[in-house]
Amino acid sequence: MPNFPGVDFMDFDSLLTSEEKLARQTARQFVDDRVLPIIEKYNQEAKAPLQLVAEMAELGFFGANLEGYGCAGLSTAGYGLVMQELERGDSAVRSFASVQSSLVMYPIHAYGSDAQKEKWLPLMQQGKAIGCFGLTEPQFGSNAAGMLTRATKSGTSYVLNGEKMWITNGSISDVALVWAKCEEEDGAVRGFLIEKDTPGFKSWDIHGKLSLRASVTSGLAMTDCRIPAENMLPGVKGMKGPLSCLTQARQGIGWGVIGAAMACYDTALRYSKERKQFDNKPIASHQLTQEKLAWMITEITKGQFLALQVARLKDAGKVLPVHVSMLKMNNVWMARECARLAREILGANGIVDDYCVMRHMNNLETVFTYEGTHEMHKLIIGQHITGIPAF
């Protein structure tokens, strides 16, 4: 899909700054030139295109909305537009950048010691170090507070024991931010930075995935894993730490899936104008096809404005986690439905890798679940508007 024109039905661009549009164009060109020519092959072979990491770093994609340490200092919308374009390429590429930026760099930036920031943030911004985020466990996903991983103080060290699952970039990371309940603090959750090759720390890859195949997904295990006490994030205690990271990352997801939806819509629109049936007319002339296309562009447009308003609220210091829940819930659902409708418009061609639709459709099944399932975000909104928790 060279020279992607974007999808802008209602002059969305008029609400963006020149810096935000430049950030989007930089990412858009990168995706057109470097991601789209290779991603189907990597998806088929279930390999991550790690050669792109250095290029993404050079373009300033990692920690793009953070200040200092070489980071670009973009607005939330600017960062989101970068995520949009990366996911237009593939959810796996956007997931890599999201984890690096929002789930590892952000908490170090927000809650780390000066030494932790100075050690890791420049390296991660430059793509010279890769990070992962260890919260989910085999037995605890949505109920992350039920985690079994424990940290015990031992002299000038902490000893960690436990297991984490479904960890993006886990086996290729130089540092893992692992959340554990601290025995000496009445089980309060704390974040710990574990460097690769630390004794007692191991990782392994999860194989057989039919979604996010171009992403590394791993398990982590800590068995009497001893790390220096100074590797604990000093600036946050309790579930506020990991949940604030997820809120940060969900904004990128809310933008990112717009890119996947745009790719599916654009593919379906082009195809419907070229594919001819019945009296040699394009299927775009059929009422049911137009209904699908009209639904898609309407929902994409609504998703754009929702994402932008949440971004503006964040930069104004007014955003609430429930706002981000609505963004993530709505936009991922929207993108998932766009992929399904695009597959229908393409007919049998929708299932082959000549087109991007089925790849996006499969990827979005994972995005629909991770970082807060669709159902959990509904319940978060429900609790906010009724004052009654239903989970």
* Residue pLDDT, tens place only, 241-283: 999 999 999 999 999 999 999 999 999 999 999 999 998 999 9
Whole-angstrom distance, CA of residue 54 vs CA of residue 125:
10
Q: Tokens 């982590």 correspond to what residue?
A: 220
Query: Which phi and psi angles does 166 have, rounded to 5°?
Result: 60, 50
Residue 87 lies in domain: 12-125
Query: pTM for this structure?
Result: 0.95
Residues 121, 251, 369: CA angle, nearest 5 degrees: 105
Residues 377 and 254 occupy one common structural domain: yes
Residues 318 and 215 occupy one common structural domain: no
Q: Give the residues across from 164 on adjacent strands.
A: 220
Among all residues, which ones are annotated catalytic? 371
Residues 252 and 334 occupy one common structural domain: yes
> Taking 80 as the threshold, does the pLDDT of residue 2 lie above it?
no
Whole-angstrom distance, CA of residue 128 vs CA of residue 18:
30
- Per-chain mean pLDDT for the chain: 96
DSSP state of 390: -
Whole-angstrom distance, CA of residue 247 vs CA of residue 258:
18
Whole-angstrom distance, CA of residue 333 vs CA of residue 28:
23
Evaluate whether residue 391 is within a structural domain.
no
* Residue pLDDT, tens place only, 113-150: 999 999 999 999 999 999 999 999 999 988 889 999 99
Evaluate whether residue 216 is within a structural domain.
yes
Residues 358 and 378 occupy one common structural domain: yes
pLDDT at 3: 73
* Residue pLDDT, tens place only, 206-215: 999 999 999 9
Amino acid in the structure at residue 134 = G
Q: Which two tokens stand for residue 71?
A: 């980071």
* Residue pLDDT, tens place only, 216-239: 999 999 999 999 999 999 999 999
Residues 170 and 286 occupy one common structural domain: no
Task: Quote the number of domains for the chain.
Answer: 3
We report the CATH number of the domain holding residue 159 as: 2.40.110.10
